[in-house]
Structure 1
Amino acid sequence: MSDPLMRELDHYVVLEPAGGEQILTAAETLSWLESQLAGLSSVPADLAGLDGARARAERLLETACELEIEPGRAVQWFAVRLDPPGAGG
């Protein structure tokens, strides 16, 4: 079961083998995962039973942090909490 605290986070760091890293909002991360899944020749078995790209991306976001896009190459995403300006500790 996924950690309910993860759903409260609004930003993710995404890492791509050739593209470095970027910080995306949760909505942007879902879209990014959808595009990563669309580029696969076959959907991972644990996602195949889900209806649609959005549902698959949501499941990945909730349960994983890596997707192999080709043998030996993977993309990764990690939830991060960004403090609002001036809230430093």
Structure 2
Amino acid sequence: MPDSIMYQEDTYVLLSPAMVEQFVTVAELRGILQERVDRLPPDLIPQDLQGLPSSQWIDRLLATACTLDTAEGTWQWYVVRLEKNR
């Protein structure tokens, strides 16, 4: 049976369009993504988000995606584990 640590998602690596890598918490990632989706022009809103209320967009992105295309370029995020499993 897999260890429950495999399902913990507390730290992400975030790549900005300038390919600057930073480690962020899930709360920080939510804030960064919220800032980006609030400024998305209608033609850049991902198709799978278009049928949802905007209040659900961040949850949907975190659950189903790892990229977001914006006017600035593409943002990417990935879950990382910083502690070595014993």
Shorter-chain TM-score tier: 0.7 to 0.9
Between 17-26 and 61-70, the greater mean CA deviation after superposition: 17-26
Whole-Å separation in 2 of the counterparts to 1:50 and 1:7: 26
- Taking structure 2 as the reference length, the TM-score comes to 0.77
Aligned-residue CA RMSD (Å): 2.5
Within-5 A mapping of 1:3-82: 8-18=8-18, 20-42=20-42, 43-53=45-55, 55-70=56-71, 73-82=73-82
- Taking structure 1 as the reference length, the TM-score comes to 0.74
How far off its partner does 1:19 sit?
A: 6.2
Amino acid at match of 2:50: A
Q: Secondary structure at the match of 1:31?
A: helix
Residue pair 1:9, 1:80 contacting (<8 A) in 2 also: yes
Whole-Å separation in 2 of the counterparts to 1:6 and 1:60: 20
Cα-to-partner distance string for 1:7-63 (whole Å, 9 max, x where unaligned): 52101111112361111111111111111111210222210121124x101111111
Q: Percent identity?
A: 39
Q: Secondary structure at the match of 1:68?
A: strand
Is there any run of 5+ residues in structure 1 with no aligned partner, and where? none
Amino acid at match of 2:54: G
